[in-house]
Structure 1
């Protein structure tokens, strides 16, 4: 038996094998699945066991076995990579640290060498994990567009084909609940399409003949015939993927600069160590042991352990503090860069607003015998069986006022128009003004424009064919949105920007409520990227705050991106550099201020570490630095800068604390 799907003028039989349906799922790589993570964990465990064995007075061979096993577990990958680079006439810091660790072990300082191994193995594991998750997020984005579509043949039949095979000029059928398979134009049918993944609009958009639809958007309750106007590789979703990748590639010059610094540092330390050994041994006739001891002492005191700990503890402590207050900062680099932000761009729906439509106005028309409660009772009854977001807003508004909807019969729903039902013997209609006020004049003609000018979505309620009320539905701002905007403006010294795919009237209304003057509305993802690049070209280090797939390219193109954790899409969460776990906007200015404090601590630590290293190196070169004293100075500077950085773990270090001694808001991060 076949079933027909009405598309407005035609009825098309449903094929026996429907294309795959279901929720979009993102590919995720588990942390433990990465070899780098497993080797780093093994190296850390062996190092800890070695320290415990050493303190417990275990036999020397047992302690050395554990330490050397730590060397092998954590050092074989950077050693192999370093040797590979060496064959290409390149020298990197990883190879230098392996050599330093081996040199330390050769003069009995096996614990120092093990610590170096653990630090660099852990760093490499975190880098590998971050890289893999970025790749996962891009693959997850590709899942937005379905793998298959129903193509209509010239003979009037149907065939299920891969969306990659669709070409411009093909016609496809999109059934209720399916994702649109390609960018195109509606040539038949009517439906409401949820295109929040592309434009960020909070409500489904009515689509009629001649309207544009995008691949990956979710069709509502009607069926659509769509003429394909773009090939798969040029669809909006495909362009989002390309923009994320391109924006990531633009960070390569900074990475290249870091690699040049590493190369010069590595070569300098190796050359200096060889000279410190060769000149006394070959030129001054110093004994092999003395010359080797001086060279290894130099390598130890010149090693960057103190510099690494000068930077990492304060940043990691700040990350932990931010996590306790509901902000997940993904790396120490991000925590450091947050403090450099001098312009913030906010998305609208789901970021500055809650992302859920609510009834904001009930305008009862003159001459109507009903009051607001009566209107809501009838409207909620008619909308009760509908799954449209506007219908849920009406039902929720009635429930919040303690109003129970009356029983209904003869319910019907028309996509893009509204619903109709019999309630208590009266025909109740709730729907769009364009449909319900057609060929009808009256007070509603002035109420509807007023609500729409205020940024509301107008919904008309008719009883037995007579308009009785107009409901104004809007997405309301998040608590604290206005305060966050003020705090960000004061902190950065520049007014925030609103970037949204929503219509200009709704955007201006929200902007007035939260205090934003620079409003850019009706933006597609590429338009948001262009706006961010405009700000960056003007010299601003821009922080983009968003929640949707459509915000991900702008996040990737910006100096930094922050995603809303509860409402955020998978791609936004993965592309972002930080996540506001509980969607509390007031944590954004707080984490920027915390980052600035961490940067000051880092600078102080670098001065301390640099001073210790300089003094110890000069002492070793100009005089005779005893190895125990060199190790003590090296480790002492490491402890000092580490403890200084850990001060940022205190709750009082969080700028958002309202009172001294207040408990932080726990999130489980």
Structure 2
């Protein structure tokens, strides 16, 4: 049955005001994290020391600044590396600190400072992203109220929501959030459960219907029998799934960690051997130390680090200028590897707010006449469908007459006196049952509902005047975005939604999608993502709501629509489309693929240069200035190559 137009009933006017919702925890501020503060200090000291060093200023001017850079940015990874050594693990961060100290020992302070700054900034960004995700997950639990009104044989009592047991009955007044998952025992209302199912409209709830903790009750009072403990509620399971998915490591990440470990061990062993073996055969100490330090510098992965970061950071900066915030270099790299795309409906492919899509006037009435009367009757209401009707009338420039004797009944609709006539707007089932001569109206209702639209009937003096079709409008550019994602991924994009099958089918048809899965809860979306991953697919999920957050976290890559997206979805996703332009999603995927190609180019350049310098140092005699020149030259080369993606033309090419 279609959702109905309803507002606060007269009886609700005397109900006690609902308590204010629990305050969400404050988001972690940028400089609240010690990692960020230390990285900022290291970067500032380096940026001041660098030009002084290049201009030939005396050592007392830039030396202390380099010392501050080394200490601020290097103590934490150094300590972490020493801790890892106790567990018989050699961390690549420790290798970078040792390489930086080695460079400083032979006068190459710039090399060491650059290594320190790169790793300090990277660690700070990772710590900030992790902390903000944790903040958002904790905030999700505050959607459920901390207290509940439990009904007992003696009346009512206020208890902690966590104290509710299966079988208890709770009273949920208008405007309050539900404290537990359960079944409606008595009452009727409309419940906004977008945070769980993603449905754009409040769902009508009557005796026997299922309700979820954290969803918002509408205009009627409900008595709900508790079916699940607080720890087993849908919203608690969402939190658990996000935490579990966020804590796992992708296979690529695990592979890189193994490579880092082996590389670190190899460089350390080679450096020690290059220092100890010649000494054992009577070589000069100073010359041997200089050669070993030269090897440490040319073998350090400075160019390898820059081979990866500049293309990805340039792509991030370019995407940011065009309204897409990608949270990390790892996220940008993964976006380009997706082979399967799953998209939410409400708020992602569609705008997320209902609009009047069509007006079918019935015999004896005109479209504008019926719409103006309906809008006047709905003007006092705050229901989403009522606002859509009023907006449609105002867009047509219709004059709205003041309404009198307004009333509303949950599940039926509104009634008001408009211009001396009685106007009723609401559910076809409720209004047409008692109306004579309604065959034309019933046919129009059936046609609209078959199209997946919400049908609303307008009666004027008990005569059917019009049938309004309301629907969530498709975003501009959605069909084109779907087609481009299909081409990029090489597979049909899937529509995963908690909405009903008919509405989902209509949205899929309008956007050009054929794989449609409707009526899904958050865990169903996660199950679909995991099924694709077991088949070897790399999955991109695009969504905007709390109900999408587990799938965004479980996917290889997640993109959230930012303007109306939930806090949890925005924090969980790898990228956020700030301007809500759906066409930006395939563009950023294409830009990521271009960045991945440049990373490959840079890795080849860096590997050849480092390999050549290492062989030269081992097989012959590599002068330290030439080693530094070759090392820094390769670093600059790969850095400049990566910066090509900063140009505006790179985004334009990705958008084609």
User: Deviation digits for residues 603-629 of structure 1, max 9, x if unmatched?
Assistant: 111110000000000000000000000
Match among 384, 406, 417 for residue 411 of structure 1: 406
For residue 525 of structure 1, what is the aligned residue in structure 2? 522
**Structure 2 counterpart of 1:155:** 154
Partner of 1:245: 243
State the alpha-carbon separation in 2 of the partners of residues 616 and 357 from structure 1: 65
* Cα shift at 1:255: 4.1
CA deviation map 1:76-121 (0-9, x unaligned): 1111111111122221111111111111111111221111111111
Gaps of 5+ in 2: 1-7
Q: Which residue in the other structure is 1:45 paired with? A: 44
Cα 1:250–1:67 change in 2 (3 A) is closer
Distance in 2 separating the partners of 1:11 and 1:48 = 63
Q: After alignment, is 244-253 or 294-303 more displaced?
A: 244-253
Q: Relative contact order (alpha carbons < 8 A, sep ≥ 6): 1 or 2 greater? A: 2
Question: Within 5 A, what are the aligned runs for 1:48-87?
Answer: 48-87=47-86
- Give 1:637 shift: 0.2
Shift of 1:296: 0.1
- Map 1:336-347 to 2 at 5 A: 336-347=333-344
Q: Does 1:600 align with 2:594?
A: no
- Using the size of structure 1 for normalisation, the TM-score is 0.94
Q: Superposed, which structure 2 residues align to 1:117-266 within 5 Å?
A: 117-156=116-155, 158-251=156-249, 254-266=252-264
Structure 1: state its 5+ residue gaps. Answer: 1-6, 660-669
Equivalent position to 1:428, from 423, 426, 445: 423
Deviations 1:181-218 (A, max 9, x none): 11111112211110000001010111111111110111
In 1, the alpha carbon distance for the partners of 2:499 and 2:252 equals: 35
**1:7-26 deviations in Å (ceiling 9; x for gaps):** 99x999978xx874237635
Question: Match for 2:271 among 255, 270, 273?
Answer: 273
CA distance in 2, matches of 1:26, 1:496: 36
Cα drift, residue 58 of structure 1 = 3.5
Cα distance change of structure 1 residues 266 and 611 upon mapping to structure 2, 3 Å threshold = same
Partner of 2:20: 21
The counterpart of 2:443, out of the listed 423, 430, 446, is 446
With structure 2 as the length reference, what TM-score do the two structures score? 0.95
RMSD: 2.0
What is the match of residue 649 of structure 1? 646
How far residue 589 of structure 1 moved from its aligned partner, in angstroms, is 1.2
- SS of corresponding position for 2:143: coil
In structure 2, distance between residues paired with 1:364 and 1:310: 65
Q: 8 Å contact 1:426–1:464 — kept in the other structure?
A: yes
Task: Report if aligned partners of 2:12, 2:220 keep a CA contact under 8 Å in 1.
Answer: no
Cα distance between partner residues in 2 of 1:132 and 1:532: 25
Partner of 1:96: 95
- How many Å apart are 1:443 and its aligned residue? 2.0
Q: Deviations over 1:401-422 (max 9, x none)?
A: 0001112111101112100011
SS in 2 for 1:654: helix
Contact preservation (8 Å) 1:497, 1:518: yes
8 Å contact from structure 1 (residues 328, 578) kept in 2: yes
The answer to which of 468-477 and 635-644 deviates more is 468-477
SS in 2 for 1:443: helix
Instruction: State the alpha-carbon separation in 2 of the partners of residues 379 and 589 from structure 1.
Output: 41
Q: Deviations over 1:247-294 (max 9, x none)?
A: 2233265544433322221111111000000111112x1110000000
The Cα of 1:485 is off from its aligned counterpart by 1.0
Q: Structure 1 pair 231/13, CA: closer, same or farther in 2 (3 Å)?
A: farther
Residue 56 of structure 1 deviates from its aligned partner by 4.4
Q: Secondary structure at the match of 2:359?
A: strand
The count of residues paired between Structure 1 and Structure 2 equals 647
Question: Which segment drifts farther, 456-465 or 298-307?
Answer: 456-465
Q: Which residue of 1 aligns with 2:5?
A: none
How many Å separate the matches in 2 of 1:513 and 1:11? 40
Supply the distance in 2 between the matched residues of 1:409 and 1:129 (Cα, whole angstroms). 55
Aligned equivalents of 2:322, 2:462: Cα separation in 1:
54
Q: Distance in 2 between matches of 1:115 and 1:658?
A: 34
Distance in 1 between residues matched to 2:124 and 2:514, nearest whole Å: 44
1:469 aligns with 2:470: no
Q: Determine if contact 1:498/1:520 at 8 Å carries over to the other structure.
A: yes
Partner in structure 1 of residue 3 of structure 2: none
Give, in whole Å, the separation in 2 of the partners of 1:487 and 1:252: 26
